[in-house]
Every structure is written in structure tokens, then in C-alpha cells.
Amino acid sequence: QVQLVESGGGLVQAGGSLRLSCVASGIPSSIFDWGWYRQAPGKQRELVARISSFRRSTYADSVKGRFTISRDNAKNTVYLQMETLKVEDTAVYYCNLDSGDMNYWGKGTLVNVSS
């Protein structure tokens, strides 16, 4: 059974930084894409960043230049380095693993950016 566990969320002041991590266990395949999504109160879940098995990354326009997604295949881990955080980045952040056949989600970690 695939399980994803996020960590690294918390309370930070605007302009600060956080690094999120997500570790996967029970992965059935070595070829998959990682993604970070977020959901703010009253809003739909949105894609923040995605990194393919070939390490090609894409970002939402709202985080380009501030967030960096990376992966460590040996550790089955994906990271999201978040810099220059803004109040509007406040949300629950979820990691996602997409193997093509299946899609898996973590339970989320809260990022709260104060002004």
C-alpha cells in the first residue's frame, strides 16, 4: 500500500522560507511524477509545482521564481523549497504521486504565512 507523508509545514512570517518534504513508501513503480498542490480556505485545490521522472519541473505562475521542487529517488522523497513567502501562500499543501496508472495523495501539511 502506497503511503505519502508530508512534513515541514508551520507558521512563518511573510518574506520567510520553509521547506516541505514528502516521503513515499510502498511505491509499485520507479517511474512516476511528483507534484505539490495546495488548497486555501474556501478555494479549490491547485497545482503548485510538478516534477517528472526525468526531473522536468513546472510551476504555477504565482510561485515561479520563489518555489523550487526537487526529488531524491534514492529516498523516495520530494521537496518543495519555498522562499519569499506571501500571506496568499497560506494553505494546506499536499504531495501527489502520479504513476500514470494510479494517483496517490498525502494528508497534507499546513503552511500559515503571517503578515
φ, ψ for residue 88 (rounded to 5)?
-70, -5
Residue 90: per-residue pLDDT = 98
Residues whose CB falls within 8 Å of the CB of residue 78, separated by 6 or more in sequence, listed in order: 21, 22, 24, 34, 36, 51, 69, 70, 71, 72, 95
Rounded CA separation 5/104 (Å): 11
Residue 86: per-residue pLDDT = 98
Residue 52: per-residue pLDDT = 96
Residue 31: per-residue pLDDT = 85
Residue 1: per-residue pLDDT = 87
Residues of the chain with pLDDT under 70: none
Residue 27: per-residue pLDDT = 85
Residue 88: per-residue pLDDT = 97
